[in-house]
Amino acid sequence: MGDGPRLVVVAHPRSGSNTVVEMLRCHPDLTILNEPFNEDFSTWLPANPDYLAQVTDVASLDQVVDGILVAYSGFKLHTYQLDMELLAHLLSRRDLHVVFLRRRNLLEAVVSSFIAEQTGLWSAWDRDRDLEAYYTDLVPAPLEDVRNLLTWTRDNLAEVAAVLRARDDGRAIELFYEELFLADRATRWQQLGSLWSHLGLSPCTDPRVGRFLENATFRMGGRATYGRLPNLAEIEATLGSDETGHIGYAPRIENPDVDA
């Protein structure tokens, strides 16, 4: 492992966490393992252990995490990958810095999850053809399923935030996708600077960091891609709100009470 701090990146799906992991990996003092508690982690590479199967309680979680930290500076996980009791214990460990990455616009994140499930494309850099070609045959996302995932995500993130607020050691930082990837250039770089500062690291000078932060092609949502979801306007009209977000690229329905 590198000489940097020990850390865990906790995020929800479609929050830009893969890009954050790649930026962290650019730092010479960090080695980050991506999603060791993913249910499919052991199938990605022949040598990957089934870490999730080894976790049955707090003691076994600590044992697995300590083993990971022998070889890595830290790791990323999604909030759904551990039961809340175990996740809360992990995020409360005082030997770990926590980077909590989330989106303010949860509706767009949830819709993005349903679309990615259809296309199989989770990261833009994994594509093998034009980006728009992945979205030509989208089918409607079940409205009730979208509603249920939106509610679960909102409540789950509130629980995680409450756990981190209870820490009094200054080792937890909350970052938002919108400020890190969608804001003006100065704000984006300021947010990245706050991340290095939180971890006690000097800024990373690897030019790949700027590529990840600046390159708009890594962002897949838009009218020409996600905008092709057939019932996107219905989802926005029914579930869009100031609390959990609106779909900025959705066509509008003048009267949402009329069946689409």
Contact between 251 and 233 (Cβ < 8 Å): yes
In a domain, 251, yes or no: no
Could you tell me the CATH number of the domain that includes residue 159? 3.40.50
Quick one: pLDDT band at residue 12, thresholds 50, 70, 90?
Answer: very high
Report if residue 213 sits inside a domain: yes
What mean pLDDT comes out for the span 63-76? 97
> Whole-prediction pTM value?
0.91
**pLDDT tier at 256, thresholds 50, 70, 90:** very low
Residue 98 has pLDDT above 80, yes or no: yes
pLDDT of 125 over the 80 cut: no
Whether 258 has a pLDDT exceeding 50, the answer reads no
Q: Which residues pair with 102 in a beta bridge?
A: 176
Q: What gap in Å lies between CA 244 and CA 235, rounded to an integer?
A: 13
pLDDT digits (tens, 9 = 90+) for 149-202: 999 999 999 999 999 999 999 999 999 999 999 999 999 999 999 999 999 999
Q: Does residue 41 fall inside a structural domain?
A: yes
Count Cβ atoms within 10 A of the Cβ of residue 179 and give its class: 0-12 exposed, 13-18 middle, 19 or more buried. Answer: middle
Split into its structural domains, the chain has a count of 1
Percentage of the chain exceeding pLDDT 90: 81
Question: Does residue 45 lie within any of the structural domains?
Answer: yes
Query: Is 252 contained in some domain?
Result: no
Domain that holds residue 136: 7-239
Residue 53 lies in a domain: yes
Alpha helices in 15-127 (DSSP H): 17-25, 41-44, 51-54, 58-71, 84-91, 106-119
Contact 5, 150 (CB under 8 A): no
Evaluate whether residue 260 is within a structural domain: no
